[in-house]
């Protein structure tokens, strides 16, 4: 028990603590006021929104539509073509593509002539095993009611989700189209970024079509080359045409597979010193004969791969000049699942002056027009550059 004197001392100490806390609070509030933290950073926007809400004849759009419009307007004024905003469905699908996999149920969808979404399950997929049949009409995904004007990406994003979690599809089936609910457990579904085959022109030459630079792409390339080697290929063509890029780290790792030493690329974020990526040890395919196909739609991380191999004279670039995108975007996921992609850094290649790639692209070592009439010429030119 405390004595009367001790209680009095504790009361004084407690009172002083309250005074100190209050003083700190008001000092902080005053500082915030003086530097403008407590001020609305967009007073005109707030004023305009208040007027629209209070006096507009039409009701305001529901959900986040108004905020999305404001964000897009902000980015339009910011005027950077690669700083973009994606709504939740588009962000989900892009994230899946760059991951190279997703939690899904193994179906494709098609809008019929009479405006119903029809389901086509992949054989032995989770959807097929759960009892969904080819041609079933999709009525709903969980609480999402499907209409003819429901965007495909919205439906796909709703079906996808964590591996092991359930999604409930409401389907309608012939003959009477009575709605039936079917619960399906999502499984991991691969999104291949690489396809490959032996060329028809020469069975010793393997060609790999690389459509995106995803997290899984380096392993897919390794698998493809080993498979082609087992089938007799000794020469290889990497086809990066129409590859818009993807993950920078994955691009560096792809270049790493084919180089035995030296720099790959350099990058610099705002207010940060430049950093570089170097080959730490010879790649497993550093000695195989190699050629690369490129065109105007070869961009970003795909240009990192092509440029690194070209600058070290590891492989010839064949085709047309690439796109010329030398910036890196950081992806920030917002609270509702939408995302803001912010240009945060730029990169350059060894031996190529900083900033010279933007808008000009990599120049091919052998120019071949990229059109249907020259497809055979393009492949034969690559083969001839390998086999001399």
The secondary structure of residue 246, as a DSSP letter, is B
In the CATH hierarchy, which top-level class contains the domain 194-386?
alpha beta
The secondary structure of 69-101 as a DSSP string is HHHHHHHHHHT-TT-EEE-HHHHHHHHHHHHTE
Phi, psi of 310, deg, nearest 5: -70, -45
Q: Are 17 and 10 in contact, with CB atoms under 8 Å apart? A: no
Tens-digit pLDDT profile for residues 219-236: 999 999 999 999 999 999
Tens-digit pLDDT profile for residues 165-195: 999 999 999 899 999 999 999 999 999 999 9
Mean of pLDDT over the chain: 90
- Cα Rg of the chain (Å, integer): 29
SS3 340: strand
In the structure encoding, which two tokens stand for residue 258, read together?
């084919």
Of all residues in the chain, the percent with pLDDT exceeding 70 is: 90
Domain boundaries of the chain, sorted by first residue: 43-79, 102-190, 194-386
Q: Can you list the pairs that 191-195 forms with residues at least 24 positions away whose Cβ atoms lie under 8 Å?
A: 191/96, 191/97, 191/99, 191/100, 191/101, 191/102, 191/216, 192/100, 192/220, 193/100, 193/217, 193/220, 193/246, 194/220, 194/221, 194/224
Q: Are 263 and 203 in contact, with CB atoms under 8 Å apart? A: no
Q: pLDDT-derived band of residue 22, with 50, 70 and 90 as boundaries?
A: very low
In the structure encoding, which two tokens stand for residue 358, read together?
């933007």
The secondary structure of residue 236, as a DSSP letter, is E
In the structure encoding, which two tokens stand for residue 207, read together?
């060609």
In the structure encoding, which two tokens stand for residue 124, read together?
């032995």
The Cβ of residue 238 has, within 10 Å, a number of other Cβ atoms equal to 28
Q: pLDDT-derived band of residue 37, with 50, 70 and 90 as boundaries?
A: low
pLDDT at 107: 97
CA dist 13 → 5, 20, 43, 59, 291 (Å):
12, 10, 44, 56, 79
Reply yes or no on whether the pLDDT at 333 is more than 50: yes
Run of H or E including 11: helix 4-35
Please state whether 117 falls in left (phi above 0), alpha (psi between -120 and 50) or beta: beta
Of all residues in the chain, the percent with pLDDT exceeding 90 is: 85
In the structure encoding, which two tokens stand for residue 284, read together?
């497993």
Read off the pLDDT of each residue in 308-313 and give the average, rounded to a whole number.
95
Read off the pLDDT of each residue in 37-59 and give the average, rounded to a whole number.
89
Q: pLDDT-derived band of residue 26, with 50, 70 and 90 as boundaries?
A: very low
Distance, in Å, from the CA atom of 87 to the CA atom of 78, rounded to the nearest integer, reads 19
Tens-digit pLDDT profile for residues 239-294: 999 999 999 999 999 999 999 999 999 999 999 999 999 999 999 999 999 999 99
Of 18 and 350, the one with more pLDDT = 350
pLDDT at 39: 76
Q: Length of the chain, please?
A: 388
In the structure encoding, which two tokens stand for residue 88, read together?
């939740």
Read off the pLDDT of each residue in 127-150 and give the average, rounded to a whole number.
96
For the domain covering 102-190, report its CATH number. Answer: 2.30.42.10
pLDDT at 130: 97
pLDDT at 281: 95
Say what angle helices 248-258 and 301-311 make with each other, to 10 degrees. 30
Q: pLDDT-derived band of residue 356, with 50, 70 and 90 as boundaries?
A: confident
């Amino acid at each position: 028990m405390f004595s009367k004197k001790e209680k009095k001392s504790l009361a004084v100490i407690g009172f002083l603590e309250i005074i100190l806390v209050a003083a700190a609070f008001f000092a902080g509030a005053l500082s915030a006021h003086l530097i403008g933290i407590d001020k609305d950073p967009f007073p005109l926007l707030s004023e305009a929104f208040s007027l629209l809400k209070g006096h507009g004849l039409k009701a305001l759009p529901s959900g986040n539509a108004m905020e999305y419009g404001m964000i897009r307007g902000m980015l339009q004024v910011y005027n950077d073509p690669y700083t973009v905003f994606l709504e939740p469905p588009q962000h989900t699908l892009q994230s899946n593509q760059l991951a190279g996999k997703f939690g899904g149920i193994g179906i494709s969808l098609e809008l019929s002539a009479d405006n119903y979404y029809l389901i086509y399950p992949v054989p032995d997929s989770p959807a097929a095993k759960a009892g969904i049949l080819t041609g079933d009409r999709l009525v709903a995904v969980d609480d999402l009611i499907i209409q003819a004007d429901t965007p495909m990406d919205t439906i796909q994003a709703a079906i996808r989700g964590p591996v092991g979690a359930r999604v409930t599809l409401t389907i309608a089936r012939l003959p009477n189209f009575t709605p039936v609910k079917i619960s399906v457990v999502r499984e991991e579904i691969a999104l291949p970024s690489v396809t490959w085959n032996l060329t028809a022109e020469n069975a010793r030459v393997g060609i790999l079509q690389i459509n995106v630079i995803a997290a899984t792409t380096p392993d897919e390339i390794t698998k493809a080359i080993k498979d082609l080697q087992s089938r007799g290929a000794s020469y290889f063509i990497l086809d990066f045409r129409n590859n818009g890029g993807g993950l920078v780290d994955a691009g560096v790792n792809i270049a790493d597979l084919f180089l035995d030493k030296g720099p790959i690329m350099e990058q610099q974020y705002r207010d940060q010193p430049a950093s570089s990526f170097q080959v730490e040890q010879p790649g497993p395919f550093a000695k195989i004969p190699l050629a690369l196909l490129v065109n105007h739609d070869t961009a970003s991380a795909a240009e990192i791969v092509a440029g690194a191999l070209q600058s070290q004279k590891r492989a010839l670039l064949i085709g047309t000049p690439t796109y010329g995108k030398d910036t890196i975007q950081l992806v920030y996921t917002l609270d509702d699942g939408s995302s803001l992609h912010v240009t945060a850094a730029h990169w350059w290649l060894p031996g190529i002056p900083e900033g010279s790639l933007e808008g000009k692209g990599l120049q091919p070592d052998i120019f071949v027009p990229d059109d249907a009439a020259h497809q055979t010429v393009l492949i034969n030119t690559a083969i001839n550059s390998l086999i001399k």
